[in-house]
Amino acid sequence: MNLAEEINKSKKYSSVCQSVVERICSEESVKYKKDKDKIKAVKNRLHTIYGAFFNENSIKAVENIISSGEDIFSVSEKLMRLNVSSNERLIFIEKLYKFIFEVTLKEFTENIIDILDIGCGFNPFSLPFMLKSTTGLNIKAYHAFDIDINLSIVINKFFELSGLPKYAGCMDIISETPTKTADIAFLFKIIPTIETCKKGRGFEIINSLNTKFAVVSFPTKTLCGKNKGMAENYSVMFEENLNFDKFSIIGKNLFDNELVYVLLNKIN
């Protein structure tokens, strides 16, 4: 049995980046003898990193909204409401970006920046809110990476609608390291998921960033809305493991259910 081919037959996981599927299949196949146990284990892991956050009907809904002809803010808000994480962020989205750009844009001439968004989810759809938050902000390129092939396709359609180059793509960030040079990197609520897959990998990615700034955030509530001391726990974990020889924390804020750090890369 070809385990990856069996997983690809599942509608729920058919759009997951093939390198992700093959890596997890390789890791899980050595743990079990029976094929059904291997399939179950792979699907359980894919649910943890993907299935729990995505609705299989969302991509079709995204396509319909993008082609609706509505104004860009209406399109953006409707798109963000399709995803649990981005929908939660809508409550404080403008305050979030105002906070980020107030401490970073002073480094750039004429507020012109490139963005690198790792494990982006639906966050690129918030682009109009980024621009609205800061007068004169000019985003010339937005490089967005996720593990959903179909999501990267519709993000590129949104970029085209917004007048940006189509720089969204698919990447397995557990086995691949983003090497793109940019001004600001976004890692919104992705570090806990990365650390669940491979301990220490999240900090490896942060340390390898070729960006002047990095924005790293953590959830402070579970998907069920429960507060279990997550803000304090993630704060301790992050600050104990951050490489302060390379980074300094120039901003830290708690927005409703998201703890946000802004880091300055002292070497880059």
DSSP string, 71-103: -HHHHHHHHHTTSHHHHHHGGGHHHHHHHHHHH
In a domain, 33, yes or no: yes
At residue 65, the pLDDT reads 97
pLDDT exceeds cutoff 90 at 252: yes
Please check whether residue 254 is in contact with residue 220, taking contact to mean a CB–CB distance below 8 angstroms: yes
**Residues 130 and 19 occupy one common structural domain:** no
**Residues 47 and 84 occupy one common structural domain:** no
Q: Which CATH number does the domain housing residue 28 bear?
A: 1.10.8
At residue 55, the pLDDT reads 72
**Residues 35 and 119 occupy one common structural domain:** no
Type and span of the H or E element at 265: strand 258-265
Q: Which CATH number does the domain housing residue 208 bear?
A: 3.40.50.150
Residues 197-227 pLDDT 10s: 999 999 999 999 999 999 999 999 765 666 7
Q: Domain count of the chain?
A: 2
238/99 Cα distance (integer angstroms): 20
Owning domain of residue 252: 80-265
**Residues 84 and 47 occupy one common structural domain:** no
**Residues 84 and 13 occupy one common structural domain:** no
**Residues 20 and 149 occupy one common structural domain:** no
In a domain, 154, yes or no: yes
**Residues 41 and 91 occupy one common structural domain:** no
Average pLDDT of span 130-134: 93
Residues 74-98 pLDDT 10s: 999 999 999 888 999 999 999 999 9
In a domain, 72, yes or no: no
Please count the CA atoms within 13 angstroms of the CA of 216 that sit on its side-chain side: 27
At residue 223, the pLDDT reads 58
Please check whether residue 248 is in contact with residue 214, taking contact to mean a CB–CB distance below 8 angstroms: no
Give percent above pLDDT 90 in the chain.
Answer: 79
How far out from the chain centre does Cα 213 lie?
Answer: 16
**Residues 118 and 38 occupy one common structural domain:** no
Residues 148-177 pLDDT 10s: 999 999 999 999 999 999 999 999 999 999
CB atoms within 10 A of CB 229: 8
**Residues 11 and 103 occupy one common structural domain:** no
pLDDT exceeds cutoff 70 at 243: yes
In a domain, 43, yes or no: yes
**Residues 31 and 151 occupy one common structural domain:** no
Please check whether residue 182 is in contact with residue 143, taking contact to mean a CB–CB distance below 8 angstroms: yes
DSSP state of 150: H
CB proximity list for 29: less than 8 A, separation 6 or greater: 3, 38
At residue 108, the pLDDT reads 85
**Residues 94 and 39 occupy one common structural domain:** no
**Residues 250 and 206 occupy one common structural domain:** yes
Angle between helices 72-80 and 149-161 in degrees, nearest 10:
160
CB atoms within 10 A of CB 38: 20
Q: How far apart are the first and last CA of the chain?
A: 47
In a domain, 71, yes or no: no
